[in-house]
Structure 1
Amino acid sequence: MLPVAPSTCYDHLAKRGDPSRLSARARRDETLRPGGLCVFEENWRVYGAQKVWRQLSREGFDVARCTVARLMKGMGIQGVIRGKPHRTIIPDNKAPCPLGRVNRQFLVSAPNRLWVSDFTYVATWKGFVYVAFVIEAYARRILGWRVSTSAQAGPRSGGS
């Protein structure tokens, strides 16, 4: 039924029956999972990969932080994210959505035939900064930009 070779299926069943046939990484993961889960549970399910990794290091486990992050993701556990979530864009569902005029065909044969725009935001220590760009599609150069602390259109606040 599945497009899997029978030998792959038999190999998988053999590894489930005999853990010594697992790869070194898989065997190590099996020994680390209970420790990581125990650290996570003992700390009220709030520790993220960084703090779980530090605690495992204190307990004598020599493991990389990225390995702890991978194992936590595989187990479906995640630390608590502090602070309130930021809503950067609030859509206006009543406003009509403009149609794309180039149907995502950004290849042009000559300069100044197609200009496109982009809008993005960057998180800083003082809050979000919003940036709008106008890009010439042929040369892929930024023709102009504008930076603002608000996503709303208003008086000029920077750029060229």
Structure 2
Amino acid sequence: MPINRKTVAASLQRQGLRAKAARKFKATTNSRHSLPVAPNLLEQNFTASAPNQKWVGDITYLATGEGWLYLAVLIDLYSRKVVGWAMSERMTADLVCDALQMALWRRKMPKGVIVHSDRGSQLRFKGPSQHWLMMLKIVVL
């Protein structure tokens, strides 16, 4: 049964109710950046024969009563366990760095681990972060 917006509004008003307006979705991905894109070394092979060979990461949004929080998580593909995570009110490269630092600390600084993500702009490390990753021979995709 089709019903128009004015009919719904009138019915809500008679009952002393108000509709909650939908918030506009905020785009957080910028695909039009000039930063280099890493090669896809995993090529959809999401298995590992030992711990600390391949970690995969992503960022998700969590709705709270006070607004959105962003959660960055890194998972070891061998054990499927979370090896590092970080949460923040802002989605920045620091959020991902914090999750990576936790993973490296918890896993005793493994060398040569491949860190795979959806290649979002938050994983474009520059300056000291890039140097730090190169010293540990970590490949960030």
Q: TM-score with structure 2 length normalisation?
A: 0.52
User: Deviation of residue 88 (structure 1)?
Assistant: 4.6
* Change over 3 Å in CA distance of 1:153–1:103 after alignment to 2: same
Q: Report Cα offsets for 1:71-103 as digits up to 9, x if no partner.
A: xxxxxxxxx871431315141402344332201
Structure with the larger strand share: 2
Q: Distance in 2 between matches of 1:90 and 1:45?
A: 38
Q: Distance in 1 between matches of 2:60 and 2:28?
A: 10
* Change over 3 Å in CA distance of 1:45–1:99 after alignment to 2: farther
Instruction: Could you tell me which runs of 5 or more consecutive residues in structure 2 were left unpaired when the two chains were aligned.
Output: 103-141
Q: State whether structure 2 residue 38 is matched by structure 1 residue 98.
A: yes
Corresponding residue number in structure 2 for 1:12: none
Q: State whether structure 2 residue 63 is matched by structure 1 residue 123.
A: yes
Instruction: Could you tell me which runs of 5 or more consecutive residues in structure 1 were left unpaired when the two chains were aligned.
Output: 1-32, 56-79
Q: State whether structure 2 residue 6 is matched by structure 1 residue 44.
A: yes
Q: TM-score with structure 1 length normalisation?
A: 0.46
Question: Which aligned runs of 4 or more in structure 1 are off by greater than 4 angstroms?
Answer: none
Of 21, 27, 45, the residue aligned with 1:82 is 21
Q: Distance in 2 between matches of 1:155 and 1:117?
A: 12
Which structure carries more relative contact order (alpha carbon 8 Å, separation 6+)? 2
Alignment of 1:4-153 (within 5 A): 33=1, 37=2, 40-41=3-4, 43-44=5-6, 82-95=21-34, 96-153=36-93
Q: Distance in 1 between matches of 2:37 and 2:50?
A: 29
Q: Distance in 1 between matches of 2:48 and 2:95?
A: 33
Structure with the larger helix share: 1
Q: Please report the RMSD computed on the Cα atoms of aligned residues, expressed in angstroms.
A: 3.2
Q: Mark the structure with the bigger radius of gyration.
A: 1
| Number of residue pairs matched by the alignment | 92
